[in-house]
């Protein structure tokens, strides 16, 4: 039977006397019917929904009903409605293939269930920071046209005994009662291994509560979790997720795609994305995006139409230095590092023009001699990162 999952959710809402839940899934059913060309049936459902008081299931009312922590009175969930046109995501082909398979499986829930292949929609994303885990969750929400509900661990975790487990129950119940993507970011904050002797009993009880809440979730409720520290997760957590997708730092080809995507038509015609990919080895996609946006911001403030290559390279170089844990707390150290890092691109003459000092001063700074700050032109403000 087509759209069985929506029908079951509507029935569930009716049996629970939960008008909002029934109306939300009825609205989702109408959208799906309309996409299939069954406009008359979709119109009939919407006519019925029109008789329900608007405040019962409008997005505004849903926003006001987000669960809150009783201690801080802050929301424990954030709601967002991502749009595909706002998402720029570059991923390796094997990762995108796996993500598309997950999305297709969610869309084909009824067909898979009919074939005895019913599988809970549970996806675990893991890997280093800045590799796109949050963007993947936003992409999936946009593709499926669902709101993204992100758990706020800063307010979910309470200092009161037992309150964190109660907060968990509330956010899971909220996600169960409406069509959504339920996103547990920084998952290791809630799902740390119970074998860690440093963890106190209360945190171990939180893991048990988390496992229990996942176990009682409807298979149709879409759950995505993300962590930068998969090695910290409790072993029992892994079994609750049918889909595991590791994300890693981008390789050279992917870095080149990210540079082209983030700089767009603002890139200087003489700037090679292949060179940028080579120089940005070891950086995450998020770090590359930050450098690109920083350079574009500088371009706009200067009133230019293209990103200046030397400005882009300087910002990239300083980001590399930070990633290496280097402290460039003087202009001399900054120039010395940039010359050592990319000597063929950041030649003395270009650096002198950029910083507004002489070639000799640049050369002295690169060799660790002199004071470049002392001889700078009065009107040559030091560029910011």
What one-character DSSP code corresponds to residue 151? E
Say which residues have a Cβ less than 8 Å from residue 327's Cβ, sequence separation at least 6: 333
Same domain, 292 and 352: no
**pLDDT tens by residue, 284-296:** 999 999 999 999 9
Number of domain units in the chain: 4
Residues 8 and 35 in one domain: yes
262 within 8 A of 292, measured Cβ to Cβ: yes
Give me the average pLDDT of each 10-residue run along the chain (385 residues): 70 70 73 73 71 55 65 85 91 96 91 83 96 96 94 80 86 89 93 73 85 91 95 94 96 96 94 96 96 96 94 97 92 94 95 94 81 43 43
Of the three residues 288, 306, 326, the one that is the final residue of a domain is 326
**CB environment 348-361: b (16+ within 10 A), e (fewer):** bebbbebbbbeeeb
What is the per-residue pLDDT for 369?
55
> How high is the pLDDT of residue 93?
94
Name the β-bridge partners of 183: 150, 224
Residue with tokens 């009993």: 201
Look at residues 223, 246, 269 and tell me which one is the last residue of a structural domain: 246
Could you say which of 184, 216, 246 is where a domain stops?
246
CA distance 46 to 27: 7
Please answer whether residues 180 and 190 qualify as being in contact, where contact means their C-beta atoms are separated by less than 8 angstroms: no
Contact 157, 189 (CB under 8 A): yes
The dihedral through the CA atoms of 276, 278, 282, 284 has a sign that is positive
Structural domain harbouring 351: 328-385
Q: Are 71 and 137 within one domain?
A: yes
Q: What is the pLDDT of residues 325-363, one digit of tens each?
A: 999 999 999 999 999 999 999 999 999 999 999 999 999
Find out whether 135 and 89 touch, Cβ atoms under 8 Å: yes
Q: Say whether both 111 and 31 belong to one domain.
A: no
| 37 shares its domain with 110 | no
Residue 46 and residue 29: Cα distance in Å, rounded? 10
Compute the C-alpha angle 33/37/41, nearest 5°. Answer: 50
- Phi first, then psi, for residue 294 (nearest 5°) are -65, -40
Q: Are residues 177 and 283 in the same domain?
A: no
Whether residue 208 sits in one domain with residue 141: yes
Please provide residue 367's backbone torsions phi and psi, each rounded to the nearest 5 degrees: -95, 5
* Longest CA span, the chain: 82
Q: Are residues 275 and 362 in the same domain?
A: no
* Residues 54, 109 share a domain: no
- pLDDT given for residue 363 in this prediction: 92
C-alpha–C-alpha distance, residues 139 and 114, integer Å: 28
Q: Are residues 121 and 199 in the same domain?
A: yes
């Amino acid at each position: 039977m087509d759209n069985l999952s929506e029908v079951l959710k509507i029935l569930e809402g009716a049996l629970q006397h939960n008008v909002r839940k029934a109306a939300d899934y009825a609205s989702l059913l109408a959208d799906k019917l309309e996409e299939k060309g069954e406009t008359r049936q979709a119109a009939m459902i919407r006519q019925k929904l029109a008789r329900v008081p608007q405040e019962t299931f409008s997005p505004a009312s849903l926003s006001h009903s987000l669960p809150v922590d009783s201690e801080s009175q802050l929301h424990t969930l954030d709601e967002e409605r991502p749009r595909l046109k706002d998402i720029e995501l570059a991923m390796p082909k094997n990762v995108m293939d796996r993500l598309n398979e997950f999305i297709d499986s969610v869309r084909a829930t009824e067909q898979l269930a009919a074939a005895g292949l019913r599988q809970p929609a549970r996806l675990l994303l893991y890997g280093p920071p800045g590799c796109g885990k949050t963007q993947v969750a936003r992409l999936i929400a946009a593709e499926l046209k669902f709101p993204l509900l992100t758990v706020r661990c800063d307010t979910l975790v309470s200092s009161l005994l037992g309150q964190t487990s109660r907060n968990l129950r509330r956010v899971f119940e909220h996600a169960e009662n409406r069509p959504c993507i339920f996103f547990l970011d920084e998952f290791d904050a809630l799902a740390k291994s119970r074998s860690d002797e440093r963890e106190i009993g209360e945190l171990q009880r939180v893991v048990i509560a988390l496992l229990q809440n996942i176990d009682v979730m409807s298979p149709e409720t879409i759950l995505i979790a993300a962590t930068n520290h998969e090695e910290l997760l409790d072993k029992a957590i892994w079994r609750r997720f049918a889909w595991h997708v590791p994300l890693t730092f981008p390789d050279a080809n992917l870095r080149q795609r990210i540079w082209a995507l983030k700089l767009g038509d603002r890139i200087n015609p003489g700037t090679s994305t292949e060179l940028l990919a080579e120089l940005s080895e070891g950086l995450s996609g998020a770090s590359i995006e930050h450098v690109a946006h920083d350079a574009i911001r500088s371009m706009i403030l200067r009133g230019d139409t293209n990103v200046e290559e030397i400005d882009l390279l300087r910002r990239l170089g300083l980001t590399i230095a930070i990633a290496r844990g280097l402290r460039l707390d003087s202009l001399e150290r900054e120039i010395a590092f940039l010359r050592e890092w990319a000597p063929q691109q950041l030649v003395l003459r270009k650096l002198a023009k950029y910083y507004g000092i002489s070639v000799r001063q640049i050369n002295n700074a690169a060799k660790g001699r002199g004071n470049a700050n002392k001889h700078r032109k009065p009107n040559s403000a030091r560029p910011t990162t």
